[in-house]
Every structure is written in structure tokens, then in C-alpha cells.
Amino acid sequence: MALARFGRQVKRQHGVCVKMTAVAILGLCFIFVWSMFSSPSNSVTVQRESFDDIAEPVASSTMVSKSKGKDIEKHDANDNKKKVESSLKEKDEKKVNGSLPLPAHEHKSGKKNEKHVSKRKKDKVKSKLSNKVSKENQENQEQEESQGEEAEKENEDEEEVVVDDKEEGLDGESEEKGEMEGDADVDESVDQETQEMAENENEGKKRKIKGPVFDPKAHYSWKQCSTRSKHNYIPCIDVESGFTRLHGYRHRERTCPKAPPMCLVPLPHDGYDSPVHWPESKLKVLYKNVGHPKLAAYMKNHNWLIKSGEYLMFPQNQSEFNGGVVHYLESIEEMVPDIEWGKNIRVVLDVGCSDSSFVASLLDKDVLTLSLGLKDDLVDLAQVSLERGFATFVSPFARRRLPFPSGVFDAIHCGRCTIPWHAHEGKLLLEINRILRPGGYFILSTKHDSIEEENAMNTLTSSICWNILAHKIDDVSEVGVKIYQKPESNDIYVLRRRRNPPLCKENENPDASWYVPMKTCLHTVPSAIEQHGTEWPEEWPKRLETYPDWLNNKEKAIDDTKHWKDIVDKSYLTGLGINWSTIRNVMDMKAIYGGFAAALLQQKIWVMNVVPVHAPDTLPFIFERGLVGIYHDWCEPFGTYPRSYDLLHADHFFSRLKNRCKHPVSIVVEMDRILRPGGWVVVRDKVEILDPLEAILRSLRWEIRMTYSQNKEGIICAQKTIWRP
């Protein structure tokens, strides 16, 4: 009806105005309908925001003229389609080479500002560059080195830093800066936004260290250390402030200086000569190499070491134990027949390091003994043990845990022991219980124990359910020997009348040991199949090539062993110019599965396998194989005397410290401290690290014996000289 009436009015004379009004209304309706159906362009914008490769979302407030709107819309749609296709194509290529890389930092939900845009650009650049570099390395790398890199890459992906109970990622942005500058595909705008992103990090987060590990333009000049302990300086053990005669100059706990030492430890006053080679060093060492102010006084009351001319002699028939150490070991085996030295018992910890003839005799029985040198103000006998060629480390033993995982030592020995095990709620013995393997043996020999101390020790060992297997006073050695055994299951803990000490909480990690205080609780025995320590290892030497069920990635461990055997046999033993008959004490500064140490086992040397505290925990498996090792943070000095090792091995070691240590050069200074004059360093790493490292070694007047590089990887073999500034 309304339309019919409207039509009749249009036919009238004044219908022209009505016609114009109708046209206007229809035009407005057309504009309104057009604006409603033009919303898909906005949906395209929303879709584009979901792709990382789009630099900046289209602003919703942008005004476009009507005449140009369709052209702009078509251009945006085509451009978006091309970018989406290129993004999907790029992601498909990444999936072929491996999994998609995760962004370095997670985005907060609900925020799409310019920082997020620059983050997406940065993530795109990093993924493209890392993909390109990995592709080039895969095409150019030789087959021999690729096997070792596979085992290492797995560990790199899992690496985390734990410093002061704060976790940091490793290697997340370690190489992006240098790669971005050299990539032609990266435009200047992305570079600027990436730099702005790095500068505008969130407050409270530690800034990542950019650039190379070593400054290639730096020049170094060295001075001698002027410390109270002089040529025997151990930075984290020796006190350099607040020294008094009453308290002495040794820390009761590991306490490192705020800034790492950048000085060179002097040689002994009487000079230093090349040490006596193995196996002659078992019987004698040069006296001036281990000279100590109180060593002469100590020798007057102990006949197991005698000064003869320029040598310090160790008679085979003399020992701290009357009747000789061989008789002492045989009597222990007679008391407990299950203790089969060199078969059932392979890895032993000797607490105190008083008489290294005990270690020497066990070595003849294929037992690898690690001696714990307790620092005090008396005689540095741990240095004598190292000079003889025995595995030794130095650490306080008072309030913090020892740097070992739980349940790894087959037996622990304390000879002529004066340690008050029952003091301080038995903390020291509970720490021994932590690192002793379930079913393992604690051998304690004492002389003239008081009744009170013996009763206190019996009460303590009963409270932790240790079984006394034997107690005998030997007629020849005149030493009382007690042999305890740790429980093999948790059943006996339930039967305790007095549950003191209590069981540790379930969230208490028994393997955590770096700067962890000792606990007054009792750790339970592992029972799950995925835990280490549930079964006793195979007899030696079968255990060296045995891979237990709880080990993750057995194939990686097997490949690591084969990889290092090939490298050692085909390259290290013949191609580096090292006289291996002069090598005895060796350190692997970044051990993974112990493959390097296993490959050198036939050379009659011992290797200290150092597992960095920020790396995946593979140390339990190293002990399971019948080898020895230790945890350490290389941003701090190592716990040993100067001039301790004949060879230091660092495989892709410095490249893992790029985001951790503030002063990486101090690690080279530490290597100079613990390496003997005439000792060797073998470093395998990236060329960008090896070139400035070579300059640092030359500034120390080390002799570069061999360098080799291929496909951005290389090796340096250098020898330390006797020169001091």
C-alpha cells in the first residue's frame, strides 16, 4: 500500500523533489550495505596478525577513499596471500631439517604492541639464520665429527644454568648477533628493531652476554700472584683477607673471591723440573716440586715417605699400616669375601689422603681410587698424591655436600681416621651415606678409640641401619678395622623404632650437591627402574661397556664411545705430537658420557671427568662405567693445587660459556694454574673462538704445537712453558 501511494505521488507535478529524495535514500542505503559487506578486509587483517612473518598489522583507524578502496584491498589480499604461502613454504622446509625452533621468549597473551612485532621479526630472522647455518654445517661436516656432535647436541638442548637458585637458558642467543650482521637477507630495519628488542629487556632478567667469547682486539699483560700461599695458591680455599694466626689461612668452606684471579701463580722457590714419569712416580717424586714448610717435620714421624737426595721416596714395604698396605688390603678381603678388589669393587673414595700407598696398592688391583684431600694448615699431602699420579681433588668437608651425585662409590675408606663422624647430628656420616652406593661398604680403620666415641659411632650407624659386617683389631697393623654395609632396600628403614634421623622429603634431590648444605635426613634407597643405583654394576671391566636400563638415550652413549675411540686412535695418539708416555693426570673439562676417558684407558692414565653444573647430569653414568668425575662451575677456580695435570682436554667447552661467565679469560688463567709446566692443552671448538684463544695462549708464552681448521671448526694443541713473568 505504501509503495502504491508513493508511486501515485511521483506522477504528480511536484514529484521531482520526491524523486531526488528517493535517490538520496537509495544511495545512502547502498553505502551502508557496501560498508557492511566490506568487513572481510578487516578479517584478512586479523588473519595476517596470526603469522609471524608479517611485520606490522594494518591499523584499523586508516582512512581510505572510496575510489581507491578496491585497489588497495586487492593489493593487500594478494600481498597477504604471497606472504602466507612463503611462510608456509619456509615452515615446511624447516620441518624437513628438524622441528620448528621455539621463540627465545614467550609472548604475554592479550598484548600485540610494537615490541611483539619486533619479537616476531627477531624470531623469524633467528629461525632463518639458524636454519641456514645448520644446513651449511650438515653439508660440509665430516662423518667422523658429526657422530660426536650428535651426542653433544642432545646435551646442549637440555642445558640450563642454575646460579643462586635462578635458572637461565644457555646458548639461546649466543650467536645471533654475528650471524645477523653477515646475512644478506636481513634488511636494516629488522636489525634496528632486533637491537631495540635486546636493549628493552624486561627488568629483573639478567642481560645476555653478546659478542664473541674472547675479545679479538684485546691485549694482555700478566703479573705474578702475590698471595700468602704463594706457589700453592688455591683461590677458593686460601684466605686472602682477614688472615690471623688463630684462624689460619684456609677456608672451612669453599669461598671464592668476588673477581676471578687474573694473575699467574709463581713456581716454587727452588724452581720446578719436569715431574718423574709414570710408573716411576709411584716410588719417587722430585722433592722441590712438592716442597712444603712443614713437610720435613711431618716426615720425621712417618716412615712411608723418605727424602733421599733430590727425591721424595715411597718405600714399598713401608706404610701408615704396620705390616704394609698389601697385608692391610688382604685382611679386609678376608674379613668380607664379597669385597673383591678390582672386580666387585672398582670405584673407591679415600677420605683424608694421608697415605697414598693405599691408593697405589689398590691401583695394582685394578681399583680406581679418588682421594679427597682435606685442606688444613699442616702438610699438603694431596699435592704429593697428585705428583705421584693418583686421582685426587681438594675440598673442605664440613657443612656442604661433596660435589658428587648420590650412590656412586662402591666403597669409601677412611684410614687412621680422626674425623668426628658423630658430631653435629652425624652430618658428615649422612653425607657419606648419600654418596655411597646401596649395598656399598664403608671401611673405617682407627687406633685407640675412646669408649665414648665408639658408643656414639655405634648409635649413629645403627640409626641409619648400617650393618657391621666385620670388626677386628689386626695383630700386625695394630689397627682396629670396621666394615659397614649400606642397606640395599628401604624395608629396614620402616622397622626403625626411633626415626632419627628422619627420612628426607620426596622433593629433596639427593644428586644436588653444588653449594648445597649437608642435610640431617636420610635419603631412601632408589627403587624405580628409571633411577640410578637400583642394581649393583657389572664386574670390572665388563661394566665399562655396559649401558644400564635407567640411562636415557643409550644410542647416544654408545655413539659417544665409538666417536672418541676413533678420534683418539686415529688423531690424538699419532697426530698431535704428544708423547703420551709422559702423560698421567688428565682432565676432560666438559665430559658427557666419559667416552674420551674410556678411549684413553689403555694408555695407563686416569681422567678427571668434569661435568659442568649447568649441563645435563651424566655423572652418575660415568661412575657406573667404573670411571671417576666431579661437578664444577667453570666460572670459578677448580679445587686443586697448581701444577696438578699433564693434559687438559676441552671439546666445544668455551662456546658453551658464552652466556655464563663474565670473565672467560679467567678460565684460561685457571688452566695455566692447574697445568704443569710442559703440560698440554687440546681445545676443539669454533674457529671464531680458537683464533683469539690462540692469541691469549701466545701472550702466556705457550708454544702452539698444532692448529687445524675445517668448516668453521678447528683444534689447537698447545704446550705450556716454564716461563713466568
Contact present, 719 and 678 (Cβ < 8 Å): yes
Average pLDDT over every residue of 364-390: 87
- Give the pLDDT confidence score for residue 572 in this predicted structure: 97
- Higher pLDDT: 371 or 197? It is 371
**Per DSSP, what are the bridge partners of residue 183?**
none
Q: Sign of torsion, CA 274 289 413 432? A: negative
- Higher pLDDT: 398 or 117? It is 398
pLDDT above 90 coverage of the chain, percent = 51
- Higher pLDDT: 384 or 269? It is 384
pTM for the model:
0.73
Average pLDDT over every residue of 496-508: 91
Tens of pLDDT, residue by residue over 258-268, are: 889 999 999 99
- Give the pLDDT confidence score for residue 16 in this predicted structure: 58
Q: Is the pLDDT of residue 610 over 60?
A: yes
Tens of pLDDT, residue by residue over 239-258, are: 765 444 444 445 578 889 88
Q: Is the pLDDT of residue 202 over 60?
A: no
> Within 113-169, where are the H helices?
114-140, 143-158
Instruction: Give the domains, in start order, of the chain with CATH numbers.
Output: 280-525 (3.40.50.150)
Q: Is the pLDDT of residue 608 over 80?
A: yes
Q: Is the pLDDT of residue 454 over 50?
A: yes
Contact present, 396 and 374 (Cβ < 8 Å): yes
Compute the mean pLDDT over every residue in the chain, rounded to the nearest whole number: 77
Distance, in Å, from the CA atom of 660 to the CA atom of 168, rounded to the nearest integer, reads: 9
- Give the pLDDT confidence score for residue 670 in this predicted structure: 97
Q: Is the pLDDT of residue 611 over 70?
A: yes
Tens of pLDDT, residue by residue over 292-326, are: 777 888 888 888 889 999 999 998 877 778 788 89
Return the closest-CA partner of residue 157 out of 169, 145, 167.
Answer: 169
Q: How confident is the model at residue 121 (pLDDT cuts 50, 70, 90)?
A: very low
Distance, in Å, from the CA atom of 427 to the CA atom of 399, rounded to the nearest integer, reads: 8
- Give the pLDDT confidence score for residue 139 in this predicted structure: 46
Contact present, 97 and 131 (Cβ < 8 Å): yes
Tens of pLDDT, residue by residue over 51-96, are: 333 333 333 333 333 344 444 444 444 554 444 444 444 444 443 3
- Give the pLDDT confidence score for residue 201 in this predicted structure: 37
- Give the pLDDT confidence score for residue 338 in this predicted structure: 95
Quick one: three-class SS letters along 285-326?
Answer: EEHHHCCCCCHHHHHHCCCCCEEECCEEECCCCCCCCCCCHH
**Three-class SS state of 611:** strand
331 membership: H or E segment, kind and range: helix 325-335
